[in-house]
Structure 1
Amino acid sequence: MPVHIDDHKRCTLSGDTVTIEGLGHEVEIVTDAHLRMSVAILAGERFPITEAEADALTVAGAVDSRRHLKNSGPGSII
């Protein structure tokens, strides 16, 4: 799990090559349309995360900039 949140809303985000810590309100959660998943951004670094991790980060004060993706093209299951 690349996300850890302590009792003081300090968040640690871990990727393949970098680990960054910051306060919850310093994290922004966005939707990456190419990956089709949520990404947490802290200090300019991007970390793909699950929706459960995104929700936990919002509780810790992260800015929630996610948007719902909708595909209306042929063959879409949405």
Structure 2
Amino acid sequence: MSHLSEIIDNHTNLDGLFAIIKHYGVSAEFVTDALVQRFEQIQKDEHSESKSDTEEETAYCAEILDSLNQYFARL
């Protein structure tokens, strides 16, 4: 599967997931908090593993966490 197909499939899957979340009225605060907790756990796990190829992922997680924390503060 090409990278482009993976991107498109992921967007389609996320749209489906968000449709379910919206249907059941799950709050943005809950989803944001759950994502923050999961990304923080990923960062902790990465720090305990070797740092050979996780620097880019750690930076990615840090950027997402920063954005999610700012968004959560607005809610």
TM-score normalised to the size of structure 2? 0.28
Structure of greater relative contact order (alpha carbons < 8 Å, 6+ residues apart): 2
Larger strand fraction of residues: 1
Larger helix fraction of residues: 2
